A and B are shown apart, each in its own frame.
Chain A
């Protein structure tokens, strides 16, 4: 397990160096994520301990935003004075995104299913495997 913690911190560190040196403009953890994914792809399999570590930590991912989120109390004035544009952008923008994306992807899904029937059956099976 310690080895896996070291692996994660190591890739995060590389990401942090890349971000701080201006080498890559991405947030450090995202660079770390991509490097870890690349490493796993090269290895071809997921170490058991790493899977357990990810499941445990990601289980309470929502808690990790709380300290930074509390900082919003300093910006309550901004939220109040700009409530109308913020709420319209969040609710309207999300509704537009959902509708447009669903309709376009659904068209494509129907087109794929029509062009060769077996693929959609395969897909469902694959998704079920992954989730189990």
Chain B
């Protein structure tokens, strides 16, 4: 993650410039996006992160503020992503009893979902002639965004493209997850939740929580473990290639 280098290259002078405007705008945009999402019954298509990104982009376009000026100001928020990902250890630790109790189910879910998730996306994109930059950015698409940007950077993808692809994947999984479960006649909340977490990270988990508490817990687990495992495996595989 480039946060540390960005932070160290930043002098106190430009830190004090006025990050208040950019930080404030980001918080307000996200708050507004959350409200809009709630008005729409928290429908996965009304993803607050995506709405906030659109709002800020429109704002930058309208005010002719270049992106790097905005990012310099909003770097305080961007920096928090690192500590937030470290803190994902806490929900995983809280669920250690579930991990132990359903170890086999979870292990099989990861052994199938992780490679199928990566290879299906990479395979389709490659077959349809996507550029290598796009394919690399697409590789960690099923991983929670905080971890996915780190993976994308490690393997040479574009962080910002990865974030948007990750959100698109999350929305797809949240919408399709319950539909596919119904088509395949699967009603075990552990299976549906775990799979939605592995395939579509936090956005899928938010949807799984609406199905049931058990589905939500397993989805959170699938998301966390899939994120950590993908972050370990992908860079190692790319190092060997």
Contacts and interface: CB of A to CB of B under 8 A. Distances in A.
Interface in B121-159: 121-125, 128-131, 133-134, 138, 141-142, 145-147, 149-151, 153-154, 158-159
B194 A105 contact: yes
B212 to A, nearest CB: 9
A16 B71 CA distance: 21
Nearest to A54: B90
A97 B191 CA distance: 13
Contacts of B213: 127-128, 131-132
Interface in A28-54: 28-30, 32-34, 36-37, 40-41, 46, 50-51, 53-54
Contacts, number: 348
Nearest to B239: A25
A93 B120 contact: yes
22 contacts: A26-B150, A30-B147, A32-B85, A36-B89, A51-B90, A62-B48, A62-B49, A63-B26, A63-B52, A64-B77, A69-B50, A71-B163, A73-B57, A74-B160, A86-B130, A88-B128, A90-B121, A93-B121, A94-B121, A98-B196, A128-B213, A131-B217
Interface of B: 1, 4, 22, 26-27, 29-30, 47-50, 52-53, 56-57, 60-61, 67, 70-71, 74-75, 77-78, 80-98, 101-102, 104-105, 108-109, 112-113, 116-117, 120-125, 128-131, 133-134, 138, 141-142, 145-147, 149-151, 153-154, 158-161, 163-165, 167-169, 172-173, 176-177, 180-181, 184, 186, 188, 190-192, 194-196, 198-200, 202, 213-214, 216-218, 227-228, 231-232, 235-236, 238-239
